[in-house]
Amino acid sequence: MFYIKQFFFFSIIGYLFETTIGLIAGNHFNSGILYGPYTPIYGLGILFIFYGGEYLFRHIHLKRWQETIIVFGLFFFIITIIEQVAGILIEKIFHKVFWSYSHLKFNYGPYISLETSLIWSLFGIGIYYIKRPLQKLIEKIPNLICYLLVIIFITDIICTTIHNI
């Protein structure tokens, strides 16, 4: 249940982060393809980093600055891959492009860009280094809220699929 809580927590935090950046930049857009206030790419990305990093650093012992470089690289690589794969899948399934970085200088196709990957990696390092207090906060979320989020999320996926296919 804890992993599901983390997934939703970071999906919502990612949605809020991206929406805030959009408001500051003056863009009017929806974060992700779903109707709810969550963007699953962030939840998945954070879980991969948290537990991939935890596994890696349990077996090798590094100085803090070395760990930071590795975490940055992991975030950069994993988030970039997830964003590319998600963009392609969404386009193939729904026949729509929900986001495009084609207007950015250092883009690689519509779904990834150096600028965006760098921003998510910096954001990810911050989250990674405050994960212990965040995990304590997440543990306090009642299971009932998590069950409700799962039901809402599944319903959202079904509605989004029906509406967009």
Q: What is the pLDDT of residues 105-151, one digit of tens each?
A: 898 888 899 988 898 888 888 888 888 899 899 999 999 999 999 99
State the DSSP string of 30-86. -SSSSSSS--HHHHHHHHHHHHHHHHHHHHS---HHHHHHHHHHHHHHHHHHHHHHH
pLDDT in tens, 30-51: 666 788 888 888 888 888 888 8
Tell me the whole-structure pTM to 2 decimals.
0.81
The domain locations on the chain are 2-164
